[in-house]
Amino acid sequence: MTTLACIDLFCGAGGLTHGLTSEGISVVAGIDVDPACRHPFESNNGARFIKEDVSQSKPAKLQTLFGHADIRILAGCAPCQPFSTYTQRYDTGRNPRWALLYDFARLAKGVRPDIVTMENVPTIKKHEVYGDFVAALRKLGYKVWYDVVDCSSYGLPQRRRRMVLLASRLGPIELIESTHARPMTVREAIGQLPAIAAGGSLTRDPLHAASKLSNLNLERIRASRPGGTWREWPKRLIAECHQHDTGRTYPSVYGRMVWDKPAPTLTTQFYGFGNGRFGHPEQDRAISLREGAILQGFPKAYSFVPDDGLIQFNVLGRMIGNAVPVTLGKVIGHSILQHLAIQSLMTGTKWKRDVACSPLVA
C-alpha cells in the first residue's frame, strides 16, 4: 500500500494541519518559530511541533521527517502580513519576512515532494516573490494551479478570500468546486454559545472570553446596530479622528456582525470592538476568542492553551486570526486526495486509503 505524509511549514496553531488530518492525510510535523503554537498544534493533531525558523530549516531534516512515505506533501502559509492590503510596498528587500516564500521554494527544490500547497492573502500575487515561487515550481516539473477563493463558498462562516496554490509532480491538480450554495451564517456558527459580558468568560471554557470595554465603548456598542456603522451614532460618541475628512474612509470599524450573514474577514485583533466589524450581533461586547476560533473553522473543543494556561488576548488573537481556516484545510486535503485517486486510476496504484469516493463533510 502507498503511504502519505505531510509537513506543515509556518504551521501556527494547526488550522491547516487539522483540516488535512480530518480528511485522512497524515501530518508528521509542523514547523513554526512561535513557541506559543506548540500546545495547540500538538495537543489537537497528534503531530510533532518543531520550533524553528523556516529560513533555517534544511532539506535533509525534512527528508528524515518524511521517513519512508511514498507520497510526500509540503504545505504551508508564509506569514501573510507583508503581502496584505495594509502593506503597499512590494520591495522584498525591505522586509525579510517576504523572503520566507523563497525559503519555501528552497525546501521544495531540496526535498522534491510530490505535492506542494500554499495559502496566503490574495494580494500576494502582486509581489515578485510569488511569481518567482510559481516559476521555481514549474521549473522543477510541477503542474501548478492557483486562484483566489472565497472560503464562505466552502462552508466557512466568514467572508475570507485567500490565494490557494496546489502543485503536483504527478499530473494536473486543482481545488475542488464550491461545496456550499449558501454561506454559513454567524448565527449558525456561534448562535448557541452561552452569553457572556464584556470582560467576562465562561468557567467551563476559558477561551470563551471577551475583552473589556471602556465606558465610552460600551455606550458606542449599545448605539450600534448589526451591520451599521459609527456614522449612525450621536456625534458625542464619534471618535475625533473619524470626524475629520480622512477618518470617513474607515466605516468598517466599531461595527456589529449580522446574525444571518457570514462574519467579515477576521484579523489578529478580532477580539477588539474598535478594530473592525467584530461586535457581537446582540450582546454588548466584541466576539470572544472561542467565537473567533469557531468562525475560523476550528472545532468548539479545540484547545489553544493548557488547562492551567494564561488567556492572553494578543497571543491567542494572533494565533487564531493568522490561522489557515480549518475548513479550507479540509478542502485542500480533499482536493489532494481526489487528485491522488485520479492518478491511482490512471496508474493502477493501490493507496492506503480508498479516496476515490470520499465525500467532503463540512
Burial of 76 (0-12, 13-18, 19+ CB in 10 A): buried
- Phi/psi at 65 (5° precision): -65, -35
- For 208-219, b where at least 16 C-beta lie within 10 A, e where not — what string? bbbbebeeebeb
Long-range contacts of 346-355, Cβ-Cβ distance < 8 Å, separation of 24 or more: 346/171, 349/2, 350/1, 350/2, 351/1, 351/2, 351/4, 352/1, 352/2, 352/3, 352/4, 353/4, 353/24, 355/24
Q: Given 11, 37, 80, 151, which residue is catalytic?
A: 80
Whether residue 80 lies in the annotated active site:
yes
Q: Which of 3, 29, 4 is nearest to 16 (CA)?
A: 29
- Dihedral sign, CA of 130, 131, 134, 139? negative
Strand, coil or helix: 203 = coil
The two beta strands, 161-168 and 201-202, are unpaired
- For the chain, list the strands marked E by DSSP: 4-9, 27-32, 48-51, 71-76, 115-120, 143-150, 161-168, 201-202, 205-209
CA distance 55 to 33: 10
Active centre residues (catalytic): 80
